[in-house]
Amino acid sequence: MVDRPKKPLALATTPGLPPQPQVNFTHDNSRVTASLPTGESIEVLLYGATVISWKNRFGIERLWLSDAAKLDGSKAVRGGIPLVFPVFGTAPDHAATSKLPQHGFARNSRWEFLGKSSSESTGPSDTSVKLDFGLSSATLDEQAKSLWPYTFSIIYSVTLTPENLSTSIVVTNDGEQPIEFQVLLHTYLRIDDISKIQVTGLEESEYIDKVDAASTKTQSGAITITGETDRVYTPAKGPSHPVVVSEDGEAVYSVVRDNLKDVVVWNPWQQKAESMGDFEPKDGYKKMICIEAGSVRGWTTLDPSDAFEGAQTISD
Ligand SMILES: O=P(O)(O)OC[C@H]1O[C@H](O)[C@H](O)[C@@H](O)[C@@H]1O
């Protein structure tokens, strides 16, 4: 049988109104996909609301996803953009989150798909699409609820435009006691060759070096990756100052943050990649770098009825 290209889903038009932007969209029990008239596309699993694919208009994948990543809900996805909430790593000394698994429950929970909206300003060439996902104490599974018994709701929005991908999180405290949390957008960016990578935008910033006894250091110059790297930066420049990943001197990604004060830079390198059962191929560490926007040094306190919003925009 010959594989025919799928026909774009034409959205209904109403006489008198301009035609709706044409976004190709699918939604089933496990994932949501969308693509723009200009060719860019995204794929999001309901498990963890994990973005597992972001392709540019030429169909080239921008996110790294392990060949051995579990996509069936049995384990957090190794790759894409897992969402870390309400704890980064583990926090044995922080009573409220001490019982939670590494990186919390958001990446292991099944999210609800709340809907999509698309918009255009001048025509199909600038159509964008936003997908909204929800997780709350009402939909959280019993086990996670028993480990973190707060009343909350989260809306996570993934917006694709021809120029960039944005992910934003809004956490609301619907309960009667303050909530303390950490949050991180754990983005695995796909690159060609780690030895040619430079990360700029974090010069003069203080960081915690997790591979050197959590010592505090100050970045001098651009970051290059020559071994296992696991650092929590608190950027010296504001969130709108981009963190740029360059390959062979050419900027390949730029990450701008909104209300996310920290940036984690992670590459497991050879030995750690070997030790992770779901990391394939084993030399895949040469093809990825995690630039993770979040708020993970200390805790964000959310009073009853308050909401926190944080976002990142990645341009390629
Ligand atoms: O293996 P995971 O639980 O997905 O964590 C993967 C990595 O996430 C972050 O980048 C942390 O800083 C690392 O210490 C951790 O190894």
Question: What string of DSSP letters covers 78-145?
Answer: SBSB-EEBS-SS--TT-TTTTTS-TTBSGGGSBPEEEEEEEE-SSSGGG-EEEEEEEEETTTS-HHHH
Compute the average pLDDT of residues 187-192: 98
Does pLDDT of 5 surpass 80? no
Report whether the peptide linkage leading into residue 18 is cis, meaning its omega lies within 30 degrees of zero: no
Under a CB-based contact definition with an 8 Å cutoff, are residues 27 and 54 in contact?
no
Which of 119-123, 266-270, 306-310 has the weakest average pLDDT? 119-123
CATH number at 134 reads 2.70.98.10
Does pLDDT of 136 surpass 90? yes
Kindly indicate the confidence band of residue 43, based on its pLDDT and cuts at 50, 70 and 90: very high
Residue from 230, 267, 274, 285 whose mutation best tests the ligand 1 pocket (most atoms within 8 A of CB): 230
Compute the average pLDDT of residues 167-177: 98
List the catalytic residue out of 43, 103, 120, 186. 186
Residue 2 lies in a domain: no
Q: Are strands 243-247 and 229-234 parallel, antiparallel or unpaired?
A: unpaired
- Annotated active-site residue 241? The verdict is no
Q: Would the ipTM clear 0.85, i.e. be above it?
A: yes
Kindly indicate the confidence band of residue 39, based on its pLDDT and cuts at 50, 70 and 90: very high
Residue 90 lies in a domain: yes
Which is nearest to 308 in space by CA: 164, 180, 120? Answer: 180
* pLDDT at res. 121: 75
Contact 27 CB / ligand 1 (< 6 Å):
no
Which is nearest to 165 in space by CA: 16, 63, 309, 15? Answer: 63
Class of residue 234 by CB neighbours under 10 A (exposed 0-12, middle 13-18, buried 19+): middle
Contact 210 CB / ligand 1 (< 6 Å):
yes
Dist. CA 16 → ligand 1 center (Å): 53
- Annotated active-site residue 94? The verdict is no
Mean pLDDT taken over the chain? 94
* pLDDT at res. 218: 98
The residue ranking higher by pLDDT, 122 or 204, is: 204
* pLDDT at res. 207: 98
* pLDDT at res. 14: 53
Residue 135 lies in a domain: yes
DSSP summary character for residue 67: T
Cα(309)–Cα(183) distance, integer angstroms: 10
Q: How many structural domains compose the chain?
A: 1
Contact 26 CB / ligand 1 (< 6 Å):
no
Model-level pTM? 0.93
Does pLDDT of 187 surpass 90? yes
Cα(159)–Cα(206) distance, integer angstroms: 31
Kindly indicate the confidence band of residue 16, based on its pLDDT and cuts at 50, 70 and 90: low
Kindly indicate the confidence band of residue 65, based on its pLDDT and cuts at 50, 70 and 90: very high
Under a CB-based contact definition with an 8 Å cutoff, are residues 271 and 283 in contact?
no
Cα(43)–Cα(31) distance, integer angstroms: 7
Kindly indicate the confidence band of residue 20, based on its pLDDT and cuts at 50, 70 and 90: low
Residue 1 lies in a domain: no
* pLDDT at res. 21: 53
Contact 230 CB / ligand 1 (< 6 Å):
yes
Residue 229 lies in a domain: yes
Say what percent of the chain tops pLDDT 90: 89
Residue 17 lies in a domain: no
Residue 199 lies in a domain: yes
Under a CB-based contact definition with an 8 Å cutoff, are residues 128 and 162 in contact?
yes
Query: What residues make up the domain containing 246?
Result: 22-315
Dist. CA 89 → ligand 1 center (Å): 7
* pLDDT at res. 238: 80
Kindly indicate the confidence band of residue 206, based on its pLDDT and cuts at 50, 70 and 90: very high
Coil, strand or helix at 108: helix
Torsion on CA atoms 96, 102, 107, 109, rounded to nearest 10: -60
**Count of H-run helices and E-run strands, the chain:** 2, 19
Under a CB-based contact definition with an 8 Å cutoff, are residues 138 and 52 in contact?
no
Q: Which two tokens stand for residue 211?
A: 């591979």
Cα(254)–Cα(200) distance, integer angstroms: 9
DSSP summary character for residue 10: P
Q: Which two tokens stand for residue 198?
A: 């430079």
Q: Which two tokens stand for residue 196?
A: 């040619």
Neighbours of 93 (CB within 10 A): 7
Residue 33 lies in a domain: yes
List the catalytic residue out of 40, 43, 120, 292. 292
Contact 70 CB / ligand 1 (< 6 Å):
no
